[in-house]
Amino acid sequence: MSNKGKKVKVHYTGTLDDGTKFDSSLDRGEPLEFTCMAGQMIPGFDAAVELMEQGETKTVHIPAADAYGERNEELVQRIPLDQIPNGNELPVGQTVYMQSGDGQIFPVFVQSIEDGVATFDMNHELAGKDLNFEITLVEIEG
């Protein structure tokens, strides 16, 4: 039975291939709720849950292309500090939030600041990485 279009609740733990845990609903003590196959989740996660039954647990390996995509070097940009408000206060090695011309807020990682130029990486932090999830389908609504 397909869960497509149904609201589901899942518990999951996500790890990288080296075993490093990057996220877990169990750590938060609350399942993740989303509409299956509605584009709210990465494609591989949606596909894994689509045919699961309530109470079922499965482990899936999701290649980068079906997760957060491959790294795109065009998303690494260098911007002179004098073009950035409070540019000299940017925290190197941390994520900050910027605003695009149309008012959209988006995260960027401050890679470095050298010679008056900030280097930003706008790739998702998990871009280019294969992901592993252990997923338990807790509830299916409707």
CATH number of the domain residue 111 falls in: 2.40.10.330
What residues make up the domain containing 33?
6-69+126-141
Q: Does 93 lie in the same domain as 23?
A: no
Total number of residues shown for the chain: 142
Q: Does 95 lie in the same domain as 55?
A: no
Give the pLDDT confidence of 53-107 residue by residue, as tens digits. 999 999 999 999 999 999 999 999 999 999 988 888 999 999 999 888 899 898 8
Q: Give the global pTM.
A: 0.80
| Residue 132 reports pLDDT greater than 70 | yes
Please indicate, yes or no, if residue 32 is contained in any of the structural domains: yes
Please indicate, yes or no, if residue 1 is contained in any of the structural domains: no
Backbone angles phi, psi at 27, to 5 degrees: -65, -30
Q: 3-state class of 138 per DSSP?
A: strand
The answer to whether 134 and 27 are in contact (CB under 8 A) is no
Q: What is the mean pLDDT of residues 42-55?
A: 97
| Residue 142 reports pLDDT greater than 80 | no
Q: What angle do CA 105, 111, 112 make, to 5 degrees?
A: 120
Estimate the share of the chain in helix, then strand, then coil, as percent rounded to the nearest 5.
Answer: 15, 40, 40
